[in-house]
Chain A
Amino acid sequence: MRRDTSRSRLVIGLLVAAALALIVLDSREGADPVTTAARDAGELAFAPVASGVTAATAPVRDAYTALAAAPGARDRIADLEERNRELRTELAARDRDARRAEKLDDLLQLSGMGGYEIVPAQAVTRVTARGFSDAVTLDVGREDGVREDMTVINGDGLVGRVTHAGRTTSTVLPAVDRSSAVGARLEGSQEIGVAEGTGAVGGSKPMSFELMSADARMKPGQRIVTLGSHDNAPFVPGVPVGTITSVNETPGSLTRTGHARPAVDFGSLDVVGVIVAGPQDDPRDSLLPGPPREAPEPEKAGDEADSQDSESASDTGESGDPEEGRR
């Protein structure tokens, strides 16, 4: 042992010196040939081992990774599911928004043409009290200026009238309800009548139309618009109500009755408008969409003289341009 000491000290000194030399060589800037060669050799020896180990331990490593991630994985899955649900809801909401915007456009167009001042609303529920009545609830009420006996329309035509106005909601009696009767006028004529609801939503003949005059005539395909009531309550004039689908030829009867298809699809009520102020003038047939518009020109001529009922009634409406409504 004692004999070894000087030699071992020499060896250790040499090794330490070699290590220090290597450190100094390697820590200098630039690539040193010695250390570079050593590293290359090490890499050469190590690469197959490392790749072999990688291949051999891949399942273990995967399992370890999965285990290490396991506590967070459940949270993450929950997060992602939550996010997924949010996105799906958002997407559905966007679709619905687009549809609503479309309906609102229609509604605004109709009300603009007619010169009505409306409060837009959403039909939130449809309650059916024991199957007899068929009322629609809107999400606007007294606070929004809605009062009872106001006309409710949507982009297609008449929906009904407000029967009850609560603080923030209101109830609408649809025009197809049995207890609903709407004073109406045949398109392109002076013939007036009453459009009555005949049944629940979705019935085959949801509305009947009875002409007042015994010698008046109607035929299928003619459309009817609201006649308008005193003070625009409960119905403003000029709103499309429906289309005559069939005429009852009852011999001997004093009046003519027919069945009508409502202009509004009551099955899919969404965006509606409550008319809080009626038009200055009766828009007459101008709100009926597109053809078949029958002979509108002579009708226009007699328009002014004919609107005495709305002259007296239109003291509230000021929005909308009646001239535009004629277009």
Chain B
Amino acid sequence: MKTAVAALLVAAAVLVQAAILNRLPLPWGLVPDLVLLVVVGVALWSAPTTAAATGFAAGLAADILPPADHEIGRQALLLCLAAFLVASIRDTGVRAGAGPYIAAALAALGVSLGYALLGLVLGDPRVGWATGAAAVLGGTAATALVSPLVLVPLGAVMRRLTGEAHSDLPAPWETARGLGR
């Protein structure tokens, strides 16, 4: 059940990302990475193996869908690793307080950076230092900005499906207090 829902969510996220978000005329590469957020949200409640597979599948789908013009596997590799890492630390209290948002922001930063670095390594002519930095920072900021919108409902769904008796993920302004304690 959980697997099916996660797969559906990831598929929906990939489609929404490719069909809507990537086509929004947002300036400076400020496109939130919905796929990453969903993958992180799923990985927070999954075993590392499942999370890695989820990330790989999501990344592969994002690589394949048409507007993408980079090498197939770039996002798959990065999302796979990010999901694996997030899932590996899921029992260390990252699901409480502001943890998910921090984890998502870090994952976004890492994936953006990794994507740009992979582009540099692979000789992608569109990735330069200046444009890369702008895209990394802008993308990370946008992703972190919308992360509560995705992570709060996603966390609730995943928690129900996992059957754990935690309280729901608090809203970001409430977690600010929780961060201090």
Which A residues are closer than 8 A to B by beta carbons?
A: 1, 4, 7-8, 11-12, 15-16, 18-23, 25-27, 35, 38-39, 41-43, 45-47, 49-50, 53, 57, 64-65, 68
Contacts and interface: CB of A to CB of B under 8 A. Distances in A.
Contacts, number: 95
B52 A22 contact: no
B65 A42 contact: yes
Interface stretch (B70-78, B127-135, B142-150): B70-78
Given A1-B91, A41-B64, A46-B65, A19 B20 contact: no
B19 interface: yes
Contact of B64 (A1, A8, A18, A39): A39
B17 to A, nearest CB: 11
B73 to A, nearest CB: 3
Interface in B33-62: 47-49, 52-53, 56, 59-61
23 contacts: A1-B91, A4-B48, A11-B49, A12-B48, A12-B80, A15-B53, A15-B56, A16-B81, A18-B73, A18-B76, A19-B56, A23-B71, A23-B72, A27-B71, A35-B72, A39-B66, A42-B65, A46-B19, A47-B66, A50-B19, A50-B66, A53-B19, A68-B25
A38 B19 CA distance: 18
Interface residues of B, number: 30
Nearest to A44: B66
A165 B60 CA distance: 91
A20 B73 CA distance: 7
B18 interface: yes
B15 interface: yes
Contacts of A27: 71, 122
A7 B52 CA distance: 12
Given A19-B59, A19-B77, A23-B73, A38 B48 contact: no
Nearest to A47: B66
Nearest to B11: A45
Contacts of A57: 20
A290 B3 CA distance: 105
A310 to B, nearest CB: 82
Nearest to A52: B19
B84 to A, nearest CB: 5
Contact of A26 (B18, B25, B53, B72): B72
Given A12-B81, A46-B18, A50-B66, A22 B73 contact: yes
Contacts of A49: 15, 18-19
B118 interface: yes
B146 to A, nearest CB: 17
B48 A8 contact: yes
Contacts of B73: 18-23, 25-26
B66 A42 contact: yes
B19 A16 contact: no
Contacts of B20: 53, 57
A96 to B, nearest CB: 47
Given A38-B64, A49-B19, A65-B25, 6 more contacts: A8-B84, A11-B53, A12-B84, A15-B80, A41-B64, A43-B66
Given A15-B56, A22-B73, A23-B71, A8 B65 contact: no
A77 B111 CA distance: 44
Contacts of A68: 25
